[in-house]
Amino acid sequence: MKNLRITVNGTAYDVQVEELGGSTAPVASAPVAAAPVKESAPAPAPTGSAGAVEVTAPMPGTVVRVEVSAGDSVKAGQDLIFIEAMKMETPVKAAQDGTIASVNVAKGESVDTGKVLLTMN
């Protein structure tokens, strides 16, 4: 096991990672695992048409608050959705100014890392 510190949106997380083989095996398996999550995200019926910018979950957890709706204008840095993981609420913020095109999650829904939470234009 390797102990690593990963920083997501300014929050540091200490994690343990198990090496399964040569140094190329974990690198090759990570993108493969992430791809199906993004492909399965469009399956839920969005509340609007899909936008050009996807906002994804930075970690697995439960959606505790959705602060925006389709059609809302947002500014860079604005809180969009709050995800609870390990009894801590983490805001998912807008990376840029834009308009919310669709919201793909609801309060109480469990999400995995990389799930598309909403789209923006």
Q: pLDDT by residue (tens digit) across 96-107? A: 999 999 999 999
3-state secondary structure the chain: CEEEEEEECCEEEEEEECCCCCCHHHHHHHHHHHHHHHHHCCCCCCCCCCCCEEEECCCCEEEEEECCCCCCEECCCCEEEEEEECCEEEEEECCCCEEEEEECCCCCCEECCCCEEEEEC
Q: What is the pLDDT of residue 29?
A: 44
Model confidence, pTM: 0.58
Q: What is the pLDDT of residue 12?
A: 79
* Of the listed ranges 27-36, 85-94, 109-118, the one predicted with least confidence: 27-36
CATH code reported for the domain at 3-120: 2.40.50.100
Grade residue 1 by pLDDT with cuts at 50, 70 and 90.
Answer: low
* pLDDT digits 0-9 by tens, 17-26: 777 765 554 4
Mean pLDDT of 36-62: 65
pLDDT at residue 37 tops 80: no
